[in-house]
Chain A
Amino acid sequence: MIFTPFEVAETVNMFTNQHLDIRTITMGISLLDCISHDSKIARDRIYDKIMLKAGNLVATAEKIEAEYGVPIINKRISVTPISLVGGATDDKDYVNFARTLDRAAKETGVDFLGGFSALVDKGITKGERILMDSIPEALSVTDRVCSSINLGSTKYGINMDAVRDMGHIIKKTAELTKHADGIGCAKLVVFCNAPGDNPFMAGAFHGVNEGDSVISVGVSGPGVVKCALEGSKGEPFDVIADKIKKTSFKITRLGHMVATVASERLGVPFGILDLSLAPTPAVGDSIARIFQEMGLEYAGAHGTTAALCMLNDAVKKGGIMASTHVGGLSGAFIPLTEDEGMVEALNVGSLTIEKLEAMTSVCSVGLDMIPVPGDTPAETLSAMIADEAAIGMANNKTTAVRVIPVPGKTVGEWAEFGGLLGGSPIIGVNKFSSADFINRGGRIPAPVHSFKN
């Protein structure tokens, strides 16, 4: 036999008991050639191009899934930030663009389509302003469209006008989707240092420096890492760091193989492989449980930041060696509602918003899927975004905020978003005002280490 029984059993176990999966195959599509001064023409071109490029995406992914025996959970599309396409038109809002994207998403059968986006880290153009103002309605009248705003970067600093406005936009989005606990906000993420090749939602968009179309693959597997650490109680960190590295190498190799096959069959170049430990609400698919395996009673206990730092780094190191092109976010995600171990940590009083913020300084994203009280002031939401953007800007890393001010609900009440988005009790936020700080507007200058020319 060309494989040993141990090797075969290890791999089979990853799929059958440890929730290893290809989390997403995401096709990035450039819409720059769809631009027209006539909005209707632009929207028709967008629809046609998406159908042309991604018409076979779902069928191809399903065929690979069956042939290889590897679960592929999501099929997605990311497109050029719509602000760049809409800006050429005379439209006063871009809700119709969102409807077109939603129609294309449903017709192709993909789970989500990202790119109702604007990149405003230095300034806001007319098209970007209109797009931002269109977000609440766009997310309330569509089902599969995701929106993201990049409002800070290490190179250009933080656009505090956009930070101020996004607090209000998030509030309004929640209000317009209050029948479902403000689910519109689960499809909206605010970034600092957003990567243009991230295959994960809600933050995926097709960067302007990308080619015409590209296939990127996100592979996940928190359960595999947790199982790899089982039985290592008392062993020093050197040993567990190595175990995580080896595990992430193996699962990234799998992702790379699937990405290569998908790219060949679709006739679209391979972009990047994103190895992100992305939890789901399923038991055994949790990042928090990895911390517990490392020796912390619950996620959030002192030591969690160090644990996450080591985990994130070891995951990246293993992943980098396993694929020709590693990109996107590649690290550990720490969403609250999507991780049953995190929810339990919150329930027992181990996890606070402040600890989550500290953890974002070393994880691969930020404050993710955090339900907060519905009466949280817009300025407080903006201030949370400012803090996260500052962490990202100063540390030269991606940070993001996806908070949901759940309308009509307060601390401790359950917020439910369903499916992979999960649910959790609402977490408390600092009740003191940040209003005068946020209402200053302007720009926070880029940090000194941005001057590398």
Chain B
Amino acid sequence: MNSVVTVVGKDSVGIISTISGVMADNSINILDISQTIMDGYFTMIMLVDISIATKEIKEIRAILDEAGVKLGVSVTIQHEQVFQAMHRI
């Protein structure tokens, strides 16, 4: 099962490293990653495979939220199908 992780906020050192660390710690494989500046904000998008993740998605979300607070950015994780439904016919 694939999920889309987004990170939005002020750019700083260590964002990708921290978020990737969370993924590695929980057996989540990163399939694709891109980053850009949108409306003045650092925006990172990561496509991840959580099918063999060692934790429930609820816990992963809580860990990402916590990491986001420390980095001063907002982190979300949603199922890929949410984006498929909205943007692909």
Chain A contacts to B: CB under 8 angstroms: 1-3, 5-12, 15-16, 66-70, 250-251, 253-254, 256-257
Contact = CB atoms under 8 A, between A and B. Distances in A.
Nearest to A255: B85
A5 B38 contact: yes
Contacts of B56: 66
Interface string B24-51: 0000000011101010000101010000
B59 to A, nearest CB: 10
A11 B83 contact: yes
26 contacts: A1-B45, A1-B47, A2-B32, A3-B87, A8-B6, A9-B38, A11-B78, A11-B83, A11-B86, A12-B6, A12-B8, A12-B76, A12-B78, A15-B78, A66-B56, A66-B57, A66-B58, A68-B78, A68-B81, A69-B76, A69-B77, A69-B79, A70-B82, A253-B86, A254-B86, A257-B84
Contacts of A250: 86-87
Q: Which of A8, A9, A11, A68 has the most CB of B within 10 A?
A: A8
A1 B44 CA distance: 11
Nearest to B81: A257
B4 interface: yes
A10 B87 CA distance: 10
Contacts of B78: 11-12, 15, 68-70
A67 B3 CA distance: 9
A90 B1 CA distance: 55
Contacts, number: 76
A3 B85 contact: no
Contacts of B38: 5-6, 9
Contacts of A16: 74, 76
Contacts of B77: 69
Given A12-B76, A68-B79, A5 B45 contact: yes
A1 B6 contact: no
B34 A9 contact: no
Given A3-B4, A8-B4, 14 more contacts: A1-B32, A3-B45, A9-B8, A12-B78, A66-B56, A68-B82, A69-B76, A69-B78, A69-B82, A70-B79, A250-B86, A251-B86, A253-B85, A257-B81
Given A1-B32, A1-B47, A9 B76 contact: no
A10 to B, nearest CB: 8
B65 to A, nearest CB: 12
Contacts of A69: 3, 61, 76-79, 82
A405 to B, nearest CB: 43
Contact of A257 (B45, B74, B85): B85
